[in-house]
A and B are shown apart, each in its own frame.
Chain A
Amino acid sequence: MTTKDAVTVLYDHPGPKARRLNLVLTVIFGALLMLALWWVLSTLADKGQLAADKWKPFLQAGTWTTYLLPGLWATVLAAALSVVIAVPVGAALGIARLSDHAWLRRPAAAVVEFFRAIPVLILMLFAFTLWFTVFSVSSPLAGVVIALVLYNGSVIAEVVRAGILSLPRGQSEAAAAIGLSKSQMMTSVLLPQAVTVMLPALVSQLVVVLKDTALGGLLIGYVELRRAASTAASFYKNLLPTYVVVGVIYILLNVALTFAASRLERRLRNRAGRSDPGTAGAVGTGTTPLPGTSTVAAANAAAAQ
């Protein structure tokens, strides 16, 4: 869909000469791709990576029940916990940042900007150590979840804030005119509308969370999918096949989430029937993914974790 749009922006319908040129370029590019593919496959074959016994472990139930499925469960658990906690935290921070009271607005802004500016890996290391110091129990899961909540809560806060700011000003003016208090205005007029605008961006934030759980396996020893897989790989001595399988699992999960987000976006846009906010997402304020036609793309770009 988008490619088609771009095509009409950039060039005319091809004439006979352009079509011939395109055909020649297609053949050349296809040949180059084939060459690259052949090189990759022959290198893999040379190193014995394509041998059947390297891939056979994936046909045995034990590989899955001992390593991959528990790892996948740990990944999904950490991601789900993080999202469930991060959404209310983010909503609270986002609304606090819009407050009329400076004592509430300023600290909320500071928290959001701070946690968005620092790497999740470093947050995890800190949260893990903090948890251990306070409770004297080592809990990698807590480290992962706390870090992901702090980071994604801040990102969600910005999504919520942008969602509320994107509403026409007449909404809050009308709410004030019929005598609603500020909290009534927020809960019964602004938030319900903003949620529909920002839901797709929230769903695509799930992709970021899911991928970021893999950081937990690095320094704080959370046995998520990637780390579980590397244990399996050193047992079966098939590192490359295992990582390929893990990569495919991640791709399938994330493609499904992205697909859900764009379907949701289309459905909401049709239902709301509101005029297209245009390209605000792309030209907006920089790090904030503004809702609009490109909510999903903007959110992905903004949180390119």
Chain B
Amino acid sequence: MNFDFLSNPKYDIWGAFWVTVQLTFWAAIGSLILGTVLAAMRVAPIALMRTFSTGYVNIVRNIPLTLIIIMMSQVLYSQLGVKLATREAGVNPQAFLDTQNFRLAVLGLVLYTSTFVSEAIRSGINTVPPGQAEAARAIGLKFTQVLTIIVMPQAFRAVIAPLASVLIALTKNTTVASAIGVAEAALLMGELMENESDKFTAVFLVTALGFVVLTLPIGLILGWVARRAAVSR
């Protein structure tokens, strides 16, 4: 197999995977925040918040990510004119488009992934037996104390493993950003497939290896952490 495209300066393989990593990083932080807010609403004593959160999760989770990301670019930006980057006069417009598309892709990934984060956190809260909270209340702890001393520490441990799965899925889902022209690994692979079509197996193996290298440690490390932190019942 011929791997000489690796040393061709025309193809920035490191750069493409670096974009993948950046997409994953920002989308992970964003969806952790939004997902936690959604999960908090889901278990809030206020019925309207519960309805809103349930509705949001069930609607967004069932739409293909492809559709969401394409809507970010074609609807949110092109039709509604929402800009996430500033366009400076005299500067190369491509730089503006790159930043804009990157941020739109992150936004789409956050909107989508936060629903899975929310479900993971909610299922974590549900693993705490009601007896724990009842016992805590029986010894006179206040609501904030029940939450911070009893429920959250146990729920958090149960949430690590499902969140790791969500993070791995997110890493793979960043490839969908190629749909709106973000120069990440899948877009580069598509380009390589066309230009170096005789070496398509080598191209595939290199890209696949990149993703294995990215996702395997997440699974191994967080899986180990989850096992160590697990509450035995």
Q: Which residues of A contact B70 (CB under 8 A)?
A: 226, 230, 243
Q: Which residues of A contact B113 (CB under 8 A)?
A: 304
Which residue of B157, B186, B208, B231 is within 8 Å of A114 (Cβ)? B208
Q: Which residues of A contact B99 (CB under 8 A)?
A: none
B108 within 8 A of A: no
Which residue of B130, B170, B212 is within 8 Å of A8 (Cβ)? B130
Q: Which residues of A contact B66 (CB under 8 A)?
A: 214-215, 217-218, 226
A283 contacts B67, CB within 8 Å? no
Give A3 to B51 CA distance when docked, in angstroms. 10
B219 within 8 A of A: yes
Which residue of B65, B119, B137 is within 8 Å of A305 (Cβ)? B65
A286 contacts B223, CB within 8 Å? yes
B186 contacts A9, CB within 8 Å? no
Q: Mark B197-233, 1 if CB is under 8 A from A, else 0.
A: 1001100100110011001100100110011001101
Q: With A126-B200, A243-B67 known to touch, is A2 a contact of B122 (CB < 8 Å)?
A: yes
A271 within 8 A of B: no
Closest to B185 in A: A122
Tell which of B143, B162, B211 has the most Cβ of chain A within 10 Å: B162
Give A298 to B159 CA distance when docked, in angstroms. 11
Q: Which residues of B contact A212 (CB under 8 A)?
A: 64
A169 within 8 A of B: no
Q: Which residues of B contact A121 (CB under 8 A)?
A: 175-176, 178, 186
Q: Mark B39-57, 1 if CB is under 8 A from A, else 0.
A: 0001101111110101000
Give chain B nearest CB distance to A51 CB in angstroms: 13
A260 within 8 A of B: no
B63 within 8 A of A: yes
Q: Which of A130-146 contact B (CB under 8 A)?
A: 130, 133
B169 contacts A6, CB within 8 Å? no
B37 within 8 A of A: no
Q: With A26-B48, A29-B48, A219-B190 known to touch, is A5 a contact of B161 (CB < 8 Å)?
A: no
Closest to B192 in A: A125
Q: With A9-B125, A122-B175, A302-B165 known to touch, is A3 a contact of B42 (CB < 8 Å)?
A: yes
Q: Mark A9-43, 1 if CB is under 8 A from B, else 0.
A: 11110100010001001100110010000000001
A192 within 8 A of B: no
Closest to A129 in B: B200
Give chain B nearest CB distance to A128 CB in angstroms: 9
A9 contacts B151, CB within 8 Å? yes
A297 within 8 A of B: yes
A246 within 8 A of B: yes
B126 within 8 A of A: yes
B81 within 8 A of A: yes
B123 contacts A282, CB within 8 Å? yes
B132 contacts A9, CB within 8 Å? yes
Q: Mark B126-139, 1 if CB is under 8 A from A, else 0.
A: 11111011000100
Q: With A121-B176, A251-B62 known to touch, is A287 a contact of B226 (CB < 8 Å)?
A: no
Closest to A278 in B: B233
Give chain A nearest CB distance to B50 CB in angstroms: 6
A301 contacts B123, CB within 8 Å? yes
B164 contacts A286, CB within 8 Å? yes
A10 contacts B172, CB within 8 Å? no
Give A95 to B107 CA distance when docked, in angstroms. 40
Q: Which residues of B contact A5 (CB under 8 A)?
A: 126, 130
B34 within 8 A of A: no
Q: Which of B110-129 contact A (CB under 8 A)?
A: 113, 116, 119-120, 122-129
Closest to B125 in A: A6
Give chain A nearest CB distance to B65 CB in angstroms: 7
B62 contacts A255, CB within 8 Å? yes
Closest to B232 in A: A283
A185 within 8 A of B: no
A122 contacts B208, CB within 8 Å? yes
A7 contacts B45, CB within 8 Å? yes
B193 within 8 A of A: yes
A239 contacts B79, CB within 8 Å? yes
Which residue of A8, A30, A130, A207 is within 8 Å of B200 (Cβ)? A130
Enumerate 24 A-B pairs (CB-CB under 8 Å) in ascending A order.
A6-B43, A6-B126, A8-B133, A33-B48, A117-B208, A118-B207, A125-B186, A126-B200, A126-B204, A213-B64, A214-B66, A226-B64, A230-B74, A246-B67, A250-B63, A251-B62, A282-B158, A283-B157, A285-B227, A286-B165, A286-B219, A287-B164, A298-B123, A303-B165
New A-B contacts (11) at CB < 8 Å, excluding given A122-B211, A253-B62, A304-B113: A10-B43, A12-B143, A29-B46, A29-B49, A119-B186, A129-B197, A230-B70, A239-B78, A258-B62, A301-B120, A304-B169
